Amino acid sequence: MKYLITILIILSIKISTAQKIIFVRICNSGINNTIYWQEGLDTCRLYGTINLYAKENETAQYYKLDSNLNTASKSYIHKNANIPSIKNWEYKIEYKTICGTDTLAMHTDSLMVDDIKPDSSILDSVSVNPLNNQVYLGWSKNKTPDFAFYYLYNSDRVDPRLAENYVDTFYIDVSPINPQTKPLTYDITSSDSCDNRRDYGKYFHQTIWLRTSIDTCLNEVKLIWSKYIGWEAQKYFIFRKLNGGSFVMIDEITDTNRVYLDKNTPINSQIEYFVRAHGNQFSSTSNSSFMVKSGISSNPSNTEIEVVTANTNKSISIMARPNPTNNYSQLIVEKKNEFFTFDSIGSINLTSKVFIDNNSRDDQKSIYRLISKNACRYYSDTTIVSGNIVLSLIKNNDNIRLSWTRYFTWNNAIEKHIIYRASGNNIPETTNFMAISENNSDTFFEESLTNQSSVNCYFIETIESTLGTKSRSNTICSVETGDIFYPNAIVINGTNSSFTFIGKSIELNNSILEIYDRWGNQVYLSNNLSSPWTGIDNNNNTVQQGVYFFIAKIKRNEEIIQLKGTINVIN
């Protein structure tokens, strides 16, 4: 409605040459209403008195409010118009003009009081200049057609009015309350030509307040900052200045806790920081921190992970290569979790320099790093990350293709990969590992394994150049499978007196057999089927002739195959 009224006023000013008096606006000034008009640019002249008519609401009748308006002032104050309460006044003006030889009686279009507030003005960002700690405010231009002024507020002052009747879209608070002492809160509102104003306080913005502290034993600076209020920050950039130089970005985080530890502070230095928050469209900078001074410390540094390797029991070992010139109170082992952050899982034994991770599978990639603690038991150094080698196998007919993840721990190059193989009738028999090939790639291809053992197992060893350190992968097996066969009858003391199971890759010594008579009574139970059943029950007696039921759980590789059937026992 506000836009429509304003557009109609502007259009009437531009195209209505028939009207000599044109309404501009009517403003509510409290108990009074102020009426503004202007004269049209034409050759006609006003003649006689100018009459102002008014009515209290849309359904009321017009009455003459005044008959002697001052044409020079172009305004009129309707005193006490809104006593005892505000009314929906509507006005029009009657007048006469002389145009050439004609005298015309005319009146204006009616116009109501403009009590519609302008569009809200909202701050885009409030930012602290870290070089001088002045506060910068920016916002977009208000698009209300009869917009007049901006009004800026800072609620940290006794008098919150910061700037009034302001028309620019950028403001520098050159003498604020020190932004190093607290977060500062700012807001903006706007007014139109009738001084209708939007309320403020709903869309306020608040500066980022940065605080720092240093642990001189650790030489670690802790940064904590308040949340930027006004829009949601998606990431933060950390800037640092050393010994009076220039600010340089040192890190980028998305931590919603707004805490950062600078563990890489140079010793014996003057250090200053600030933080910059980034949202979808805007950014905001915190105050600069008070200068802190780092000390001189012999913190552990240049620690390395010597090797991450799979063990024969499928656990993973992490071996450290500490810096021999430093004193360690502890070496923490951290592992990356499902959320791609690191959790502590234990400590390196500083004597053996080894930690064994029994809670990870060696056929899945695990990423580790080591965190050093200095003599003050503070964290002082972080290694690069390292992970175990994961070997995978693809079988195509009689051909085997091995591939593995590249090992990336060592600063030295990888000298070679050694491929080992062991064969047997089932996995427990594959203990005779022998080196079958060496290469420098991440794949190995073996052809024509027909008529060999049912199970072929592999692992690889990666050798570090120069030092010869070894890292071992998981063990993976190719298992030939097929149907499992068993007889449906046995003859006690006869030629076919044994009930057993035959099949590729099965492990009879890890399998279970239960036999029941036709009344459901268990007559036989065995947890090791290396020896077949010959018709002898659990009491060492020969069972009677008849049909018996069996349940077998046969172990093959990592699976348990359950079989059920009947056995005809013949005496």
Are 143 and 215 within one domain?
no
Residue 530 lies in a domain: yes
Percent of the residues in the chain that have a pLDDT greater than 90, as a whole number: 49
Q: Helix or strand or coil: residue 6?
A: helix
Residue 459 lies in a domain: yes
Are 308 and 372 within one domain?
yes
Q: Are strands 489-491 and 559-570 parallel, antiparallel or unpaired?
A: parallel
Per-residue DSSP letter, 19: -
Whether the full predicted model's pTM is greater than 0.85, yes or no, is no
Per the rule left: phi > 0, alpha: psi between -120 and 50, beta: everything else, 208 is: beta
**Which residue is associated with the tokens 């605080």?**
211
Are 454 and 437 within one domain?
yes
Are 289 and 313 within one domain?
no
pLDDT of 139 higher than 90: yes
Residue 117 lies in a domain: no
What contacts 24+ positions apart, CB below 8 Å, involve 256-259? 258/224, 258/225, 258/226, 258/227, 259/222, 259/223, 259/224
Q: Is the dihedral of CA 168, 172, 174, 177 positive or negative?
A: positive
> Tens digits of per-residue pLDDT, 100-122?
888 888 888 888 888 888 888 99
How wide is the angle at C-alpha 374 spanned by C-alphas 369 and 379, nearest 5°? 45
Tokens of 299: 């913190």
Q: In whole numbers, what is the pLDDT of the chain averaged over residues?
A: 87
Are 332 and 243 within one domain?
no
Q: How far is the CA of 49 from the CAs of 52, 92, 105, in angstroms?
A: 10, 14, 11
pLDDT given at position 450: 53
Per DSSP, what are the bridge partners of residue 25? 36
Are 56 and 69 within one domain?
yes
Domain count, the chain: 6
Nearest CA to 192 out of 162, 148, 258 is that of 148
Q: Is the dihedral of CA 85, 86, 88, 93 positive or negative?
A: positive
CATH number at residue 65: 2.60.40.10
Separation CA 432–CA 457 (nearest Å): 10
DSSP assignment of 479-492? E-----B--SEEET
Separation CA 81–CA 74 (nearest Å): 19
Which secondary-structure segment (H or E) carries 215? strand 210-215
> Tens digits of per-residue pLDDT, 348-385?
998 999 999 999 999 999 999 999 987 777 788 899 99
Tokens of 331: 């070496």
Residue 519, φ and ψ in degrees, nearest 5: -95, 5
Nearest CA to 89 out of 59, 40, 54, 38 is that of 54
State which residues form the domain around 200.
123-206
Count each helix (H run) and each strand (E run) in the chain, helices first.
1, 44
- Cis check for the bond before 84: say yes or no (omega within 30 of 0): yes
> Tens digits of per-residue pLDDT, 259-314?
999 987 887 789 999 999 999 889 999 999 988 887 655 678 889 999 999 998 99
Task: Name the residue type at position 327.
Answer: N
Asked which of 112, 145, 163 is the last residue of a domain, the reply is: 112
Percent of the residues in the chain that have a pLDDT greater than 70, as a whole number: 95
Residue 554 lies in a domain: yes
Q: Residue 233 — pLDDT band, cuts 50, 70, 90?
A: very high
Tokens of 32: 């009074």
Are 347 and 437 within one domain?
no
pLDDT of 6 higher than 60: no
3-state helix, strand and coil shares in percent for the chain, rounded to the nearest 5: 5, 50, 50
Residue 298 lies in a domain: no
CATH number at residue 496: 2.60.40.1220
Starting at the edge strand that comes first in sequence, how are the strands of the sheet with 170-173 ordered?
A: 123-128, 135-139, 170-173
Asked which of 327, 353, 386 is the last residue of a domain, the reply is: 386
Residue 118 lies in a domain: no
Q: What is the average pLDDT across 343-347?
A: 95
Residue 89 lies in a domain: yes
Asked which of 479, 499, 525 is the last residue of a domain, the reply is: 479
Are 57 and 127 within one domain?
no
Per the rule left: phi > 0, alpha: psi between -120 and 50, beta: everything else, 466 is: left
Are 322 and 266 within one domain?
no
Could you tell me how many residues make up the chain?
A: 571
Residue 299 lies in a domain: no
CB 44 within 8 Å of CB 20:
yes
CB 306 within 8 Å of CB 278:
no
> Tens digits of per-residue pLDDT, 38-69?
888 888 888 888 899 999 988 999 999 998 88
> Tens digits of per-residue pLDDT, 380-398?
889 999 999 999 999 887 7
